């Protein structure tokens, strides 16, 4: 029997309850990869018939983590950004996402002058997931039709985040758009 979405949500809850730190999040990342092997789940949630947009699939009533399906029709490249006091795990369902990770060099933590440097770029392919912990600066670049499942520590619409202008040397506060 294939690993189910309901089991994933329960396992994610149990992992964060046992270890709210990096270990619990790494367990969720691994379990998301397992879930993405369930072709019925991927087809139902992220298949060609899925409505374009960001859709909330689950929000944990106790721990507040959120599971979202990102159904993209157009290609997109984001600026380097963080998720503020939250974290995110991206699990690729179709196509790919090129992920770039950055380091902040100026020792700052808020908006204003900010120097960042790209550390690495790699590709998430279907069935693979990446963890971006609290404060991790990253950028995403995906083609038309890319679809992924993202787990966040909370609804990002409620979290102050930063986007970075590497050429201009500054960080700016942004507000995320949530999924209802």
The domain spans of the chain are 5-165
3-class SS of residue 157: helix
- State pTM to two decimals: 0.93
Q: In the block, which residue shows the tokens 């196509």?
A: 95
Residue 120 burial (10 A CB sphere; 0-12, 13-18, 19+): exposed
Is the pLDDT score of 143 beyond 60?
A: yes
- How would CATH label the architecture of 5-165? Sandwich (2.60)
Mean pLDDT across the chain: 95
Separation CA 98–CA 96 (nearest Å):
7
Q: What is the pLDDT of residues 37-64, one digit of tens each?
A: 999 999 999 999 999 999 999 999 999 9
Separation CA 123–CA 148 (nearest Å):
13
In the chain, the percentage of residues whose pLDDT exceeds 90 is 91
Q: Where does the chain have alpha helices with state H?
A: 5-18, 22-35, 39-46
Query: Under a CB-based contact definition with an 8 Å cutoff, are residues 69 and 54 in contact?
Result: yes
Query: Under a CB-based contact definition with an 8 Å cutoff, are residues 147 and 51 in contact?
Result: no
């Amino acid at each position: 029997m294939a690993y189910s979405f309901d089991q994933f949500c329960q396992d994610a809850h149990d992992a964060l309850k046992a270890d709210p730190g990096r270990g619990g999040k790494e367990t969720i990342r691994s379990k998301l990869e397992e879930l993405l092997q369930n072709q019925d789940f991927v087809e139902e949630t992220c298949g060609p018939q899925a409505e374009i947009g960001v859709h909330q699939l689950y929000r944990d009533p106790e721990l507040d983590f959120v599971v979202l399906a990102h159904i993209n029709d157009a290609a997109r490249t984001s600026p380097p950004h963080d998720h503020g006091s939250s974290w995110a795990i991206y699990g690729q369902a179709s196509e790919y996402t090129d992920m770039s990770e950055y380091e902040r060099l100026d020792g700052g933590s808020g908006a204003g002058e900010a120097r960042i440097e790209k550390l690495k770029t790699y590709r998430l392919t279907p069935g693979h997931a990446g963890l971006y912990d609290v404060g991790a600066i990253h950028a995403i670049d995906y083609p038309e039709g890319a679809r992924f499942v993202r787990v966040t520590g909370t609804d990002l619409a409620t979290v102050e985040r930063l986007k970075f202008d590497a050429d201009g040397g500054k960080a700016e506060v942004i507000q995320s758009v949530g999924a209802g």
